[in-house]
């Protein structure tokens, strides 16, 4: 009977960790909530996706600042935002599928920059 409870607890923990990883991609507030919740649990899967989402959020803020520059900044911000949307979708799909695969091009850098989180 004890092994049945352990299996159910393991399944719930895995589901919770996957949920935290998905929530991290949804909004900035979701990222903060996932970060705070994972600070208590220290789950590597959720932490991985929190790092990826944090990197994407910071890139979004950088694109917003670049977009303040007339004409050239607008163009760079437009195309950068489309690329950032693609990266966000890839990260979200990886979290939904339970994969710890970095987002294309920048994901490895996010892991390096945020390794202490």
pLDDT more than 70, % of the chain: 88
Q: How many helices (H) and strands (E) does the chain have?
A: 5, 0
**In the prediction, which pLDDT does 41 show?**
77
The pLDDT of residue 92: 95
Domain range spanning residue 58? 2-113
- Please give the pLDDT value at position 22: 92
| CA–CA distance, 46 with 19 (Å, rounded to integer) | 8
- What is residue 86's predicted lDDT score, i.e. its pLDDT? 96
Residue 16's CB is within 10 A of a number of other CB atoms, namely 15
d(CA 44, CA 31): 15
pLDDT at 4: 46
Question: The pTM is what?
Answer: 0.81
Per-residue tokens: 117:
């989180």
Positions in the chain whose pLDDT score sits under 50: 1-10
pLDDT for 11 equals 54
Number of separate domains in the chain: 1
* Pairwise CA distance, residues 108 & 102, whole Å: 6
């Amino acid at each position: 009977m004890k092994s049945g409870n352990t299996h159910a607890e393991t399944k719930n923990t895995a589901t919770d960790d996957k949920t935290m990883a998905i929530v991290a991609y949804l909004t900035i507030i979701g990222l903060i909530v996932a970060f705070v919740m994972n600070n208590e649990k220290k789950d590597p899967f959720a932490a991985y996706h929190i790092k990826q989402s944090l990197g994407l959020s910071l890139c979004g803020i950088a694109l917003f600042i670049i977009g303040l520059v007339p004409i050239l900044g607008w163009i760079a911000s437009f195309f950068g935002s489309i690329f950032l949307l693609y990266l966000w979708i890839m990260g979200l799909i990886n979290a939904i599928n339970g994969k710890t695969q970095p987002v294309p091009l920048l994901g490895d850098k996010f892991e390096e920059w945020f390794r202490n989180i």
